[in-house]
Amino acid sequence: MAAGHGNTPAAWTAVGVAMLGFVVGSIALLQTPAQMTLLWIGIIIAVIAFPLFLVLSRLGFNTSDH
């Protein structure tokens, strides 16, 4: 691996958005009964992370400022 691999604003933003999606989905599954609408919202948020990473990378946020 290269030094600073994955340590870029694009990567951190994508990971943060994906983590938010997983948290929303987890909260939905902890409800009794499970909140399927909230689960799908969490899944959509998590899936958005990858295209967001690609867009941010193309905008130049894929380099670390070390």
44 inside domain: yes
Q: What is the mean pLDDT of residues 12-28?
A: 97
Residues 31-53 have pLDDT tens digits of 999 999 999 999 999 999 999 99
Number of domains within the chain = 1
CB 57 within 8 A of CB 10: yes
In this structure, the chain runs to a length of 66
Q: How far is CA 51 from each of CA 17, 24, 27, 65, rounded to the nearest angstrom? A: 11, 19, 24, 22
Task: Tell me which residue range forms the domain holding 33.
Answer: 9-58
Q: What is the mean pLDDT of residues 14-27?
A: 97
- Mean pLDDT over all residues of the chain? 91
- pLDDT value for 62: 87
Place of tokens 């909260």: 27
Place of tokens 């990971």: 15
32 inside domain: yes
Q: Is 41 in a helix, a strand, or coil?
A: helix
